[in-house]
Amino acid sequence: MTPKRPGKGILIVGMHRSGTSVASRMANLSGAWLGRDDELMPPGPDNPSGFWERLDVMKFNDRLLSALGRTWDTELALAPGWERNPAAAPFYDALADMITSAFGGRPLWAVKDPRLCLLLPLWKNALTQKGIAFSCLFVVRHPLEVAFSLNKRNGFSLEKGLACWLNNNKSALAGLVGLQTGVLRFENLLLDWKTELGLAFAGAGIAWPDQAKAFEEAVNAFLMPQNNDRASDKGWSRAEMPGDIARLHSRLIQEPFLPGEKL
Protein backbone atom coordinates (compact mmCIF):
# COMPACT_ATOMS: atom_id res chain seq x y z
CA MET A 1 0.00 0.00 0.00
CA THR A 2 1.32 3.43 -0.95
CA PRO A 3 1.86 5.57 2.16
CA LYS A 4 -0.54 8.47 2.50
CA ARG A 5 0.87 11.89 1.74
CA PRO A 6 1.35 14.32 4.63
CA GLY A 7 -0.62 17.57 4.50
CA LYS A 8 0.88 20.94 5.34
CA GLY A 9 3.62 21.01 7.94
CA ILE A 10 4.75 23.64 10.42
CA LEU A 11 8.44 23.64 11.30
CA ILE A 12 8.96 25.30 14.67
CA VAL A 13 12.41 26.83 14.63
CA GLY A 14 14.12 28.53 17.55
CA MET A 15 17.10 28.39 19.88
CA HIS A 16 16.99 26.04 22.87
CA ARG A 17 15.18 27.60 25.87
CA SER A 18 13.49 30.18 23.63
CA GLY A 19 9.91 28.99 24.02
CA THR A 20 9.72 26.48 21.18
CA SER A 21 7.91 24.00 23.43
CA VAL A 22 5.21 26.59 24.12
CA ALA A 23 4.94 27.33 20.39
CA SER A 24 4.67 23.63 19.61
CA ARG A 25 1.85 23.12 22.08
CA MET A 26 0.01 26.15 20.69
CA ALA A 27 0.32 24.77 17.17
CA ASN A 28 -0.97 21.47 18.52
CA LEU A 29 -3.96 23.11 20.22
CA SER A 30 -4.75 24.87 16.95
CA GLY A 31 -5.10 21.50 15.22
CA ALA A 32 -1.59 20.44 14.18
CA TRP A 33 -0.76 16.78 14.81
CA LEU A 34 2.47 16.21 16.73
CA GLY A 35 2.30 12.50 17.38
CA ARG A 36 1.10 9.96 19.91
CA ASP A 37 2.07 10.45 23.53
CA ASP A 38 4.60 7.61 23.34
CA GLU A 39 6.26 9.31 20.34
CA LEU A 40 6.85 12.56 22.23
CA MET A 41 9.56 13.42 24.72
CA PRO A 42 8.11 13.13 28.23
CA PRO A 43 7.98 16.22 30.47
CA GLY A 44 11.03 16.93 32.60
CA PRO A 45 12.06 19.21 35.48
CA ASP A 46 13.10 21.90 32.98
CA ASN A 47 9.83 21.59 31.02
CA PRO A 48 7.15 20.27 33.41
CA SER A 49 4.40 21.25 30.95
CA GLY A 50 5.97 19.12 28.24
CA PHE A 51 8.46 19.49 25.40
CA TRP A 52 5.92 18.67 22.66
CA GLU A 53 8.81 17.29 20.62
CA ARG A 54 9.06 14.00 18.75
CA LEU A 55 11.79 11.63 19.93
CA ASP A 56 12.43 10.32 16.41
CA VAL A 57 12.99 13.84 15.07
CA MET A 58 15.39 14.70 17.89
CA LYS A 59 17.37 11.49 17.36
CA PHE A 60 17.42 12.01 13.59
CA ASN A 61 18.78 15.54 13.99
CA ASP A 62 21.38 14.40 16.53
CA ARG A 63 22.59 11.75 14.07
CA LEU A 64 22.80 14.34 11.32
CA LEU A 65 24.74 16.74 13.52
CA SER A 66 27.10 13.94 14.53
CA ALA A 67 27.74 13.10 10.86
CA LEU A 68 28.65 16.76 10.36
CA GLY A 69 30.98 16.79 13.37
CA ARG A 70 28.72 18.88 15.58
CA THR A 71 26.51 18.60 18.66
CA TRP A 72 23.37 20.52 19.64
CA ASP A 73 25.35 23.03 21.73
CA THR A 74 27.91 23.89 19.07
CA GLU A 75 29.15 27.47 18.91
CA LEU A 76 30.61 26.90 15.43
CA ALA A 77 28.57 27.61 12.32
CA LEU A 78 28.27 24.93 9.67
CA ALA A 79 29.97 25.88 6.43
CA PRO A 80 27.68 27.33 3.73
CA GLY A 81 26.42 24.55 1.46
CA TRP A 82 26.95 21.85 4.09
CA GLU A 83 23.67 20.23 3.03
CA ARG A 84 25.42 19.17 -0.21
CA ASN A 85 28.20 17.47 1.75
CA PRO A 86 28.42 13.71 1.01
CA ALA A 87 28.00 13.07 4.74
CA ALA A 88 24.53 14.60 4.53
CA ALA A 89 23.37 12.67 1.44
CA PRO A 90 21.92 9.60 3.23
CA PHE A 91 19.72 11.80 5.40
CA TYR A 92 17.51 13.12 2.60
CA ASP A 93 15.54 9.94 1.96
CA ALA A 94 15.60 9.08 5.68
CA LEU A 95 13.98 12.41 6.51
CA ALA A 96 11.28 12.07 3.86
CA ASP A 97 10.51 8.54 5.05
CA MET A 98 10.30 9.66 8.68
CA ILE A 99 7.92 12.53 7.90
CA THR A 100 5.72 10.38 5.66
CA SER A 101 5.54 7.63 8.27
CA ALA A 102 4.79 10.03 11.13
CA PHE A 103 2.38 12.37 9.38
CA GLY A 104 0.97 10.55 6.36
CA GLY A 105 -2.72 11.41 5.98
CA ARG A 106 -2.58 14.25 8.53
CA PRO A 107 -3.94 17.49 7.01
CA LEU A 108 -1.86 19.65 9.38
CA TRP A 109 1.20 18.60 11.35
CA ALA A 110 4.03 20.25 13.24
CA VAL A 111 7.60 19.43 14.19
CA LYS A 112 9.57 21.20 16.88
CA ASP A 113 13.27 20.75 17.53
CA PRO A 114 15.71 23.56 18.34
CA ARG A 115 18.30 21.73 16.22
CA LEU A 116 16.32 22.88 13.19
CA CYS A 117 18.07 26.24 13.61
CA LEU A 118 21.26 24.57 12.42
CA LEU A 119 19.76 21.96 10.10
CA LEU A 120 17.01 23.82 8.26
CA PRO A 121 18.77 23.79 4.83
CA LEU A 122 18.56 19.99 4.59
CA TRP A 123 15.01 19.87 5.92
CA LYS A 124 13.96 22.55 3.46
CA ASN A 125 15.51 20.76 0.50
CA ALA A 126 14.29 17.28 1.48
CA LEU A 127 10.67 18.32 2.01
CA THR A 128 10.61 20.48 -1.11
CA GLN A 129 12.01 17.66 -3.25
CA LYS A 130 9.19 15.40 -2.05
CA GLY A 131 6.55 18.07 -2.66
CA ILE A 132 5.61 18.33 1.02
CA ALA A 133 4.22 21.78 1.80
CA PHE A 134 5.34 23.55 4.96
CA SER A 135 5.83 26.93 6.59
CA CYS A 136 7.81 27.99 9.64
CA LEU A 137 7.27 29.51 13.06
CA PHE A 138 10.47 31.21 14.22
CA VAL A 139 10.60 31.65 17.99
CA VAL A 140 12.80 34.44 19.35
CA ARG A 141 13.76 35.14 22.95
CA HIS A 142 16.12 37.68 24.49
CA PRO A 143 19.73 36.35 24.44
CA LEU A 144 20.32 36.85 28.16
CA GLU A 145 17.09 35.09 29.08
CA VAL A 146 18.24 32.11 26.99
CA ALA A 147 21.75 32.22 28.48
CA PHE A 148 20.34 32.29 32.02
CA SER A 149 18.04 29.36 31.29
CA LEU A 150 20.94 27.34 29.83
CA ASN A 151 23.04 28.19 32.87
CA LYS A 152 20.29 26.93 35.15
CA ARG A 153 19.62 23.75 33.16
CA ASN A 154 23.03 22.81 31.72
CA GLY A 155 25.53 24.79 33.77
CA PHE A 156 26.68 26.74 30.72
CA SER A 157 28.62 29.93 31.28
CA LEU A 158 26.99 33.17 30.21
CA GLU A 159 29.51 33.44 27.40
CA LYS A 160 28.75 29.96 26.04
CA GLY A 161 25.00 30.50 26.23
CA LEU A 162 25.26 33.76 24.30
CA ALA A 163 27.56 32.20 21.70
CA CYS A 164 25.08 29.36 21.17
CA TRP A 165 22.25 31.89 20.85
CA LEU A 166 24.18 33.81 18.21
CA ASN A 167 25.13 30.73 16.17
CA ASN A 168 21.63 29.26 16.26
CA ASN A 169 19.83 32.46 15.35
CA LYS A 170 22.24 33.43 12.56
CA SER A 171 21.97 29.90 11.15
CA ALA A 172 18.18 29.99 11.41
CA LEU A 173 18.00 33.30 9.57
CA ALA A 174 20.05 31.93 6.71
CA GLY A 175 17.86 28.82 6.52
CA LEU A 176 14.60 30.76 6.61
CA VAL A 177 15.36 32.78 3.49
CA GLY A 178 12.65 32.10 0.91
CA LEU A 179 10.34 30.32 3.35
CA GLN A 180 6.96 31.50 4.57
CA THR A 181 7.68 32.44 8.16
CA GLY A 182 5.81 33.79 11.15
CA VAL A 183 7.84 35.17 14.05
CA LEU A 184 6.87 34.50 17.65
CA ARG A 185 8.64 36.72 20.18
CA PHE A 186 8.53 34.94 23.52
CA GLU A 187 8.41 38.02 25.74
CA ASN A 188 5.51 39.44 23.72
CA LEU A 189 3.75 36.10 23.90
CA LEU A 190 3.74 36.18 27.69
CA LEU A 191 2.41 39.74 27.72
CA ASP A 192 -0.36 39.36 25.11
CA TRP A 193 -0.40 35.88 23.64
CA LYS A 194 -3.46 36.37 21.45
CA THR A 195 -2.03 39.32 19.54
CA GLU A 196 1.46 37.84 19.22
CA LEU A 197 0.25 34.39 18.18
CA GLY A 198 -2.22 35.91 15.74
CA LEU A 199 0.58 37.80 13.99
CA ALA A 200 2.82 34.74 13.96
CA PHE A 201 0.10 32.45 12.61
CA ALA A 202 -0.74 34.98 9.90
CA GLY A 203 2.92 35.17 8.87
CA ALA A 204 3.15 31.39 8.66
CA GLY A 205 -0.18 31.01 6.86
CA ILE A 206 -1.82 29.13 9.74
CA ALA A 207 -5.55 29.61 10.17
CA TRP A 208 -6.95 30.56 13.57
CA PRO A 209 -9.05 27.59 14.79
CA ASP A 210 -12.77 27.61 13.99
CA GLN A 211 -13.52 26.77 17.60
CA ALA A 212 -11.83 29.95 18.75
CA LYS A 213 -13.26 30.08 22.27
CA ALA A 214 -12.24 26.52 23.12
CA PHE A 215 -8.78 27.12 21.64
CA GLU A 216 -8.27 30.33 23.61
CA GLU A 217 -9.40 28.70 26.86
CA ALA A 218 -6.98 25.81 26.26
CA VAL A 219 -4.08 28.17 25.57
CA ASN A 220 -4.85 30.22 28.68
CA ALA A 221 -4.89 27.07 30.81
CA PHE A 222 -1.60 25.92 29.29
CA LEU A 223 0.19 29.25 29.71
CA MET A 224 -0.92 29.83 33.30
CA PRO A 225 1.77 27.64 34.95
CA GLN A 226 4.58 28.64 32.59
CA ASN A 227 7.68 29.94 34.32
CA ASN A 228 9.66 32.68 32.65
CA ASP A 229 13.27 32.49 33.85
CA ARG A 230 14.55 36.04 33.94
CA ALA A 231 18.14 37.09 33.55
CA SER A 232 17.36 40.00 35.86
CA ASP A 233 16.76 37.47 38.65
CA LYS A 234 20.44 36.55 38.31
CA GLY A 235 21.55 40.15 38.35
CA TRP A 236 22.76 40.12 34.75
CA SER A 237 22.42 43.45 33.02
CA ARG A 238 21.20 43.49 29.44
CA ALA A 239 24.04 45.93 28.75
CA GLU A 240 26.48 43.01 29.13
CA MET A 241 25.71 41.61 25.67
CA PRO A 242 28.45 41.81 23.02
CA GLY A 243 27.68 44.20 20.19
CA ASP A 244 27.06 41.58 17.52
CA ILE A 245 24.53 39.79 19.71
CA ALA A 246 22.79 43.03 20.71
CA ARG A 247 22.54 44.06 17.04
CA LEU A 248 21.08 40.74 15.95
CA HIS A 249 18.54 40.76 18.76
CA SER A 250 17.54 44.32 17.87
CA ARG A 251 16.90 43.17 14.33
CA LEU A 252 14.86 40.16 15.41
CA ILE A 253 12.42 42.25 17.40
CA GLN A 254 11.83 44.75 14.60
CA GLU A 255 8.66 44.87 12.55
CA PRO A 256 8.33 43.89 9.82
CA PHE A 257 10.68 40.94 10.04
CA LEU A 258 12.51 40.13 6.80
CA PRO A 259 14.62 36.91 6.93
CA GLY A 260 16.44 37.80 3.69
CA GLU A 261 17.98 41.01 5.02
CA LYS A 262 21.75 41.15 5.32
CA LEU A 263 23.06 40.69 8.84
pLDDT at 225: 64
pLDDT at 263: 39
CB neighbour list of residue 55: distance below 8 Å, 6 or more residues apart? 39, 40, 41
pLDDT at 224: 75
Q: Domain limits of the chain?
A: 8-252
For 10, other C-beta atoms within 10 Å of its C-beta total: 26
Pick the closest to residue 182 from 206, 203, 199 (CA basis): 203
Distance of alpha carbon 224 from alpha carbon 244, whole angstroms: 34
CB 52 within 8 A of CB 40: yes
Listing from the earlier edge strand, what are the strands of the sheet with 8-14?
Answer: 108-112, 8-14, 134-140, 181-185
pLDDT at 256: 61
Q: Please give the model's pTM, rounded to 2 decimal places.
A: 0.92
How does pLDDT run along the chain (263 residues), one tens digit per residue? 667 899 999 999 999 999 999 999 999 999 999 999 999 999 888 778 889 999 999 999 999 999 999 999 999 999 999 999 999 999 999 999 999 999 999 999 999 999 999 999 999 999 999 999 999 999 999 999 999 999 999 999 999 999 999 999 999 999 999 999 999 999 999 899 999 999 999 999 999 988 989 999 999 998 876 645 555 555 555 557 888 999 999 889 886 665 555 43
CATH tag, 8-252: 3.40.50.300
Q: What are phi and psi of 174, to 5 degrees?
A: -65, -40
Distance of alpha carbon 143 from alpha carbon 237, whole angstroms: 11
